[in-house]
């Protein structure tokens, strides 16, 4: 297992690189629109699209860092627990236990009123972390399984995964907005190479096709980046859960129950799917292996995670037997 401090430092570096990368990506979309509009890069006029893209990316980057968790909670319809509800009180007790076990401050707790069992974590760091679960998770899990799921989310918090994934959530949405804006502008005739530019030879048709494809595919490319960042983190958080609870089989059982759910999470979207312990959209691709699945899935296959956890459980039992 990677040292937690090294992993935390690595995640912070990745977050900075992602923010810079998405900023550059957004600016490239703006430049593409300006080139398409004028047929050339002309420094004598204001590149309107580029300025707009850079401003939006900067603003949303700021939002994602300081207010990303609030945006995520609002988009998922998450609400604070109602302590008159016994299941909410049990959740609060379990989160307190796992905060102590992981050596972290008590995170804020939120509930999504949905029957699909799932959980997520978000925030800027341990001092501002949020753990959210669905009502379906509370209704489905026994106490040990709930502990294991919460410990998994605490693992994300301890390694600073939550900052990286929260920032990615907002920035992926930014690229999608810019791409949609560019396409709508083109559709309504707002950007066409000026006649004077075309008469001079204008922009090459191949360049036009490349620019159009880049803008159209930018949301897909940004999502692939988000998925690649997300997948391997789940394995590490599973290991953290086993360490905090000393019970990897409880998480294996919880994941099997989550995999057996019959309906996707209603409020989840593609932009937030990577935040959850299991794909809330229940896409079949996440349960496959191979190159295509590695590129397009947000989570590693649950059966692979369960197999690893059961192997860990066997190792834990073996070590305990030696101590006796």
Catalytic residue IDs: 153
Under 8 Å CB-to-CB from 187, ≥6 apart: which residues? none
Could you tell me where the DSSP H helices lie in the chain? 4-38, 48-76, 86-102, 135-140, 143-158, 161-187, 195-199, 205-245, 248-259, 291-296, 302-323
Both tokens of 303, joined, read 């059966």
Under 8 Å CB-to-CB from 316, ≥6 apart: which residues? 242, 246, 247, 248
8 Å CB contact between 108 and 78 = no
8 Å CB contact between 106 and 92 = no
Place of tokens 């002309």: 42
8 Å CB contact between 183 and 29 = no
Assign residue 39 a region: left if phi > 0, alpha if psi is -120 to 50, beta otherwise?
Answer: left
DSSP codes, 29-90: HHHHHHHHHHSS--TTS--HHHHHHHHHHHHHHHHHHHHHHHHHHHHHT-B---TTSHHHHH
8 Å CB contact between 277 and 153 = yes
């Amino acid at each position: 297992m990677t040292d937690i401090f090294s992993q935390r430092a690595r995640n912070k570096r990745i977050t900075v690189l992602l923010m810079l990368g998405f900023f550059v990506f957004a600016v490239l979309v703006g430049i593409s629109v300006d080139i398409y509009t004028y047929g050339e890069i002309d420094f004598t006029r204001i590149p309107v699209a580029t300025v707009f893209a850079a401003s939006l990316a900067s603003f949303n980057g700021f939002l994602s860092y300081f207010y990303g968790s609030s945006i995520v909670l609002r988009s998922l319809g998450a609400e604070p627990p109602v302590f008159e509800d016994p299941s909410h009180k049990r959740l609060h007790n379990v989160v307190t236990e796992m905060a102590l076990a992981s050596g972290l401050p008590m995170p804020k707790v939120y509930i999504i009123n949905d029957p699909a069992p799932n959980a997520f974590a978000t925030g800027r760091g341990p001092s501002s972390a949020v753990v959210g679960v669905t009502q379906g998770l509370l209704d489905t899990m026994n106490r040990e399984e709930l502990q294991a799921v919460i410990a998994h989310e605490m693992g994300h918090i301890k390694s600073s995964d939550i900052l990286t994934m929260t920032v990615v959530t907002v920035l992926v949405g930014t690229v999608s907005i810019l791409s949609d804006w560019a396409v709508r502008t083109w559709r309504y005739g707002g950007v066409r190479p000026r006649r004077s530019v075309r008469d001079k030879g204008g922009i090459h048709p191949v360049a036009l096709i490349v620019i159009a494809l880049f803008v159209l595919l930018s949301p897909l490319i940004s999502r692939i980046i988000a998925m690649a960042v997300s997948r391997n983190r789940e394995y590490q958080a599973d290991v953290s859960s086993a360490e905090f609870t000393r019970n990897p089989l409880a998480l294996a059982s919880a994941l099997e129950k989550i995999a057996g759910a019959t309906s996707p999470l209603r409020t989840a979207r593609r932009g937030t799917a990577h935040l959850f312990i299991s794909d809330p959209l229940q896409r079949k691709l996440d349960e496959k292996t191979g190159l295509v699945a590695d590129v397009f899935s947000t989570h590693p296959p649950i059966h692979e995670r369960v197999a690893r956890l059961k192997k860990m459980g066997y190792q834990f039992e073996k070590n305990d037997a030696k101590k006796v």
